[in-house]
Structure 1
Amino acid sequence: MSLLEAREALSFPPGNSGNLTDTVIDNVHFNLTTLEHWNYTYFSNGTLSNGSWCFLTFPPYTPAYVFPNGTFLNATKCWSPTESIRERGGVAIGYAVLFGITLILTLVNLHKHGRLHLPAEKRFYPIGRRWQWYWASFVCATAMVSLFVSIDVDRYYLPELPVILTTFFWYLMQMGTVALVWEAVRHWGSWMERQFIDPDPFTLRQDDRRARVELYLPLLFYLFLWLNFFMIVPRKWSAIQHQRSPEQTLLEAAPSATDSRFKAGAFMLVGCWLVTVFSLRHSIKYYCPQNRGIFNRIIGFVRYTPLRFALIIPLAAALIAYQILVAFRFEYGPVKVGGNDAAIFVGGYTPSFLILVVQIVFGLINPNEDRELQRQRRERNQVLNREMGIVPKPSWWRRVNGEYMDPNEGMRERLMRNVREVHGTKPAASATVSGADAQHEGLGVPLDMTPISSPPLASPRVTRPPMQPYTGRSERRREERTAELAAGLLYPIAAQNSAATAARRREELMKDGPPPSYTETVRGAQPTPNSAPNQIRSMLDV
């Protein structure tokens, strides 16, 4: 007995002859007094129900016995998947597999375009480029749930929870698809702005009409999307499952699925679509070459619209149009049990799937935005170098000329490289630059291993004066001597000149003899009785 046939109350079949308390249903005897006591009614669709409980009575689901308390033995409820998978369930499995593949590719694109290769900027948050892929993942997940649950819509003998779940997640999928299209268009405008201001950050102001429009457009879009969610989701969904007979469907399910809230929610998506188109027009106006005149502006809008948006925006319009149709015509929507399968999948799931395919294909083709920005910067630098006549040296130039900087070099190697730069010399071709065998040019002695107190090196090019360690108590003098020692190691020529100057100054001071001792120049010192009087030799002794 099909659930779409008339569900009429019938009288209980007669039982054994002469026994008024017995009834036989499919060769099984039941106590008629017990059934009537618990208000059970026998219906023409093969069910036995009292308004609270419903059981199947046709083979092989016929109950074996009914107890006096109204409990059935080996009974099967009416809301059980007893039917085989039909066309709607088979097509739903295929669509669910396709959405599962798109989910995997969406995660691949999220990893590709969500990675950062440049420092994050306050003006362009990294999450802005990821939102479209977040919404794409949401669409894939809700579509798969709706499709897998819709397999049981036709398998249940009487409609119940599956038709509610498949309709609920289908509406969520519609909202996610519209949000996906919006985020793709919005982020494209943000990407165009980033390319526009990258050469000159002060080209566009952040407090003009353009910036204010870009601030309020997302708020307006998500206001319409939230209104769509508020009109559809928070409601009593149980009336939709009341499709157990044509009369019940006409009186309860159809009015509930096509009420004013569903109609208003569908038109909220129209507002979302208009905001998306306006955002695309706004980005083309400010970040693409401008055109004068109405017709030229229309031509420019069509010309500068990316191919991706030329595909997904009409698909989003078709999706919204189908939701409006479902809000007025109950028989074409996914909420109808045994409805038009072609309309359900072509109008309900195909636009969302095609939008995901377009997004994935262009996501795999387009490079990461940070990588693209780095490429544009390199091209601009090359143009500037050509204009200024700068010819950059090839990468092998530093290696050939001994200017290669080993990332693993230690402090000794760095000191050696600094010394060579000061001298203006280069290491021999056969020498290996290392801390153990790096030799100073023409000396044969490791430069950084020379003792500090060693005698001057016999070299016609470098004469390093000996540096005696400071043994006094003055911390300031010790720091100065340490600084002189470090300067002598890093810059030997300058240290040589400084030492030569100090030696020449010392020689000039020693021409008149050594300076007097401290005891001879103490002021106020009185001669002893046995000592000879001091002789004043110069004005310095006074």
Structure 2
Amino acid sequence: MIFDARDLIAFPGGANYSDTVLAGIHFNLTTLEHWNYTLYSNGTLSNGSKCMIVSEAYAPKLLYPNGTFINATSCYSPVNPIGLRAKIGIGFAVAFGFLLMGCIMALRKHGRLFLPAERRFRPIGRRWQWYWGILTATAAVISLFMNIDVDRYYLPELPIVLTSFFWYLLQMCTMALVWEAIRHWGSWQERQYIDPNPFILSQDDRRAMFEFFIPLVFYLFLWLNFFMIVPRSWGKLEKQRDDDQTTRYAAPTATGIRPKIAAFFLLASWLITVGSLRHSIKNYMPRNRGIVNRVIGFVGATPPRFVLLLIFSLAMIAYQALCAWEFEWSVLKVKGDRAAIYLGGYTPSLLILIVQIFYGWVSPNEDRELIRQRRQRGVETDRDLGLVKKPAWWRRLNPDYVAGGESMRDRIARNVNEIGGGRATTRGIDASLANRATEVEAQQNQGLEMNSLARTASNATARSGYGAGSESYGGKSDRRRTERTLAVAAGMLFPSETSTPGVAERRRELMLDGPPPPYNPTGENQGRGRSRQGGGGRPSSNERSTSTGTTGSLSGAPQQVKSMLDI
């Protein structure tokens, strides 16, 4: 604790020369002088290492010969009531707290992916502005809540340092937020520009190189601002216990050469942000000819959100520069101007967050917007080609319609599972052939001993072209049903007497009707075939054999074609 000699006062007299009275309590003056205690005009008692309040309410009750006080209150205790600076700070802190929740909600909305991540446009690129928004709101809340202890501490100490430190972080995070918002807007314009044709812009031209290096330059100046502000001695900022101490120690620290240079670095970051905006408008917006038209086009193409962000951020930088030259209006001063502190120090960042969160609330997710644009381009292309999109009810009636969001791969897998499909194995093929041979042999042995119901079913099956071995399987084995289905299909495609016994049986049944009717060139008997019981008529169309086998034709008599109906 350092005070000027003009702040020292003499100990008041007591009962004798070795006695003094402080706040109505007698203390041994010899002991106080032995331990180098000094009384100051602000009501404190200190010996350089210890400081105690000696006012009426907080004066110590007893002093031991070893220099120890009983019931003493430290000078750096929050004993004062909340002042105007703390009350306004609480209101601002609550507002920044709500904005912090808004940034988190906006991050969740705009950070979600609905399209595959692209290497050219990484998801973290659009999230950075919300990350910086969260850091901005957090730094503001800490700095503003520290203002409570700035007012309540009897003598300034650590709270004013924490308030000032997080206020400088608030300025840097706000500038980074503005930069990321404008940079990402340019990236979003590029993404929309190349989405119809990914090869319309090269990735190694002058434009791409500019977009690669300009973020590095911006963050270089931002971190230079950080290194000018943060790595320095903050202890002298606490020495604002009286006016003379404030003038000698605190003011030179707050208005030194480092804060002045830091303000210029922050202004350079702002100019780089404007340059990035100009670059994005030049490359991804309609171009204008002439200097005047370019200026008009630049102003017209700039979103209103960025106009507000750039104005508020410039006001923030101007106030930081003002604090570097005028300590009276600075946030770093304990008894500084309250209106200047909150209007210049916190209001620009508050307004920037409000604008950003409002934008995040009204604007759609970029992936969803890109999907909408692709769908719109598809509709326009279909209109140009003359294609008409089917209504929703048509897709449900279409056999190829996939319901419930089921993919084609899932649908094929479901169909394979229903018919009992699986990986073919040698054991399965051998078992299928053995079962088929057993069934064929059993059907050949039955012959004419089948009952009338089985004969009727067999005849109907034979007339329909499936053969005798194609009775429908009524069991529960999917594997057996598959094997029977394959056997029927093979019999239909490759009929023979050995593999399909139904051919010989069908030939025998057809010969029971007798020979075909005689040829009549006048066509009187066409369509009037004799009945089956008559023995001489031609079978009707639904009774003729549809077999394409050739085995019987090689062993039997040549067939005489009477008319085209016999073929």
Q: Could you say which TM-score interval applies, normalised by the shorter chain?
A: 0.7 to 0.9
| Corresponding position of 2:226 | 229
Q: Name the amino acid aligned to 1:458.
A: T
What SS does the corresponding residue of 2:251 show, helix, strand or coil?
A: helix
| Corresponding position of 1:533 | none
Over residues 97-130 of structure 1, what are the superposed CA-to-partner deviations in whole Å (9 max), with x where a residue is unaligned? 0000101111110110000011111110001110
Distance 1:124 1:5, change over 3 A: same
Structure 2 CA distance, aligned partners of 1:500 and 1:118? 58
Q: Name the amino acid aligned to 2:227.
A: F
Over residues 329-378 of structure 1, what are the superposed CA-to-partner deviations in whole Å (9 max), with x where a residue is unaligned? 11111111111000000000000000000000011000000000000000
Instruction: Write the mapping of 1:89-104 to structure 2, written as runs, cut at 5 A.
Output: 89-104=86-101
| Corresponding position of 1:442 | none
Instruction: Tell me the CA shift for residue 405 of structure 1.
Output: 3.3
Unmatched segments (≥5 aa) in structure 1: 419-453, 469-481, 514-542
Contact 2:466 2:491 in 1 (8 A): no
**Are 1:24 and 2:67 an aligned pair?**
no
**Are 1:393 and 2:390 an aligned pair?**
yes
Structure 1 CA distance, aligned partners of 2:4 and 2:465? 112
**Are 1:60 and 2:57 an aligned pair?**
yes
Distance 1:334 1:455, change over 3 A: farther
| Corresponding position of 2:107 | 110
Q: Name the amino acid aligned to 1:45.
A: N
Over residues 364-422 of structure 1, what are the superposed CA-to-partner deviations in whole Å (9 max), with x where a residue is unaligned? 0000000000000000000000011111111110323555434589879747999xxxx
Structure 2 CA distance, aligned partners of 1:332 and 1:6? 28
Structure 2 CA distance, aligned partners of 1:39 and 1:145? 38
Instruction: Tell me the CA shift for residue 505 of structure 1.
Output: 8.9
Q: What is the TM-score of this pair, normalised by structure 2?
A: 0.75
| Corresponding position of 1:247 | 244
Contact 1:6 1:45 in 2 (8 A): no
Contact 2:496 2:549 in 1 (8 A): no
Structure 2 CA distance, aligned partners of 1:246 and 1:90? 24
| Corresponding position of 1:257 | 254
| Corresponding position of 1:539 | none
Worse-superposed segment, 396-405 or 353-362: 396-405
Contact 1:7 1:43 in 2 (8 A): no
Contact 1:7 1:45 in 2 (8 A): no
Of 298, 310, 334, the residue aligned with 1:313 is 310
| Corresponding position of 1:287 | 284
| Corresponding position of 2:296 | 299
Worse-superposed segment, 52-61 or 392-401: 392-401
Structure 1 CA distance, aligned partners of 2:4 and 2:104? 46
Q: Name the amino acid aligned to 1:233.
A: V
What SS does the corresponding residue of 1:48 show, helix, strand or coil?
A: strand
Q: Name the amino acid aligned to 1:85.
A: I
**Are 1:458 and 2:461 an aligned pair?**
yes
Instruction: Write the mapping of 1:208-223 to structure 2, written as runs, cut at 5 A.
Output: 208-223=205-220
Structure 2 CA distance, aligned partners of 1:285 and 1:412? 52
Q: Percent identity?
A: 53
**Are 1:74 and 2:71 an aligned pair?**
yes
Contact 2:4 2:245 in 1 (8 A): no
**Are 1:507 and 2:510 an aligned pair?**
no
Over residues 278-312 of structure 1, what are the superposed CA-to-partner deviations in whole Å (9 max), with x where a residue is unaligned? 00000000000000111110000000001110111
Structure 1 CA distance, aligned partners of 2:467 and 2:201? 60
| Corresponding position of 1:518 | none
Q: Name the amino acid aligned to 1:496.
A: M
| Corresponding position of 1:496 | 492
Instruction: Tell me the CA shift for residue 486 of structure 1.
Output: 7.7
Contact 2:93 2:144 in 1 (8 A): yes
Of 190, 201, 205, the residue aligned with 2:202 is 205
| Corresponding position of 2:7 | 8
What SS does the corresponding residue of 1:458 show, helix, strand or coil?
A: helix
Distance 1:485 1:189, change over 3 A: farther
What SS does the corresponding residue of 1:122 show, helix, strand or coil?
A: coil
| Corresponding position of 1:337 | 334
Structure 1 CA distance, aligned partners of 2:67 and 2:333? 34
| Corresponding position of 1:428 | none
Contact 1:62 1:76 in 2 (8 A): yes
| Corresponding position of 1:446 | none
RMSD of Structure 2 on Structure 1 (CA) = 3.1
| Corresponding position of 1:473 | none
Contact 1:224 1:269 in 2 (8 A): yes
Unmatched segments (≥5 aa) in structure 2: 420-456, 472-480, 501-546, 557-567
Distance 1:413 1:71, change over 3 A: closer
| Corresponding position of 2:36 | 39
**Are 1:346 and 2:349 an aligned pair?**
no
Distance 1:4 1:43, change over 3 A: closer
Instruction: Tell me the CA shift for residue 511 of structure 1.
Output: 3.0
Instruction: Tell me the CA shift for residue 507 of structure 1.
Output: 3.4
Instruction: Tell me the CA shift for residue 209 of structure 1.
Output: 0.4
Q: What is the TM-score of this pair, normalised by structure 1?
A: 0.79
Distance 1:265 1:328, change over 3 A: same
**Are 1:84 and 2:100 an aligned pair?**
no
**Are 1:157 and 2:160 an aligned pair?**
no
Distance 1:411 1:382, change over 3 A: closer
Of 374, 377, 380, the residue aligned with 1:380 is 377
Q: Name the amino acid aligned to 2:317.
A: I
**Are 1:276 and 2:273 an aligned pair?**
yes
Q: Name the amino acid aligned to 1:237.
A: W
Distance 1:455 1:238, change over 3 A: farther
What SS does the corresponding residue of 2:26 show, helix, strand or coil?
A: strand
Worse-superposed segment, 78-87 or 355-364: 78-87
Over residues 60-90 of structure 1, what are the superposed CA-to-partner deviations in whole Å (9 max), with x where a residue is unaligned? 1010011111111000111111211111110
Distance 1:488 1:340, change over 3 A: farther
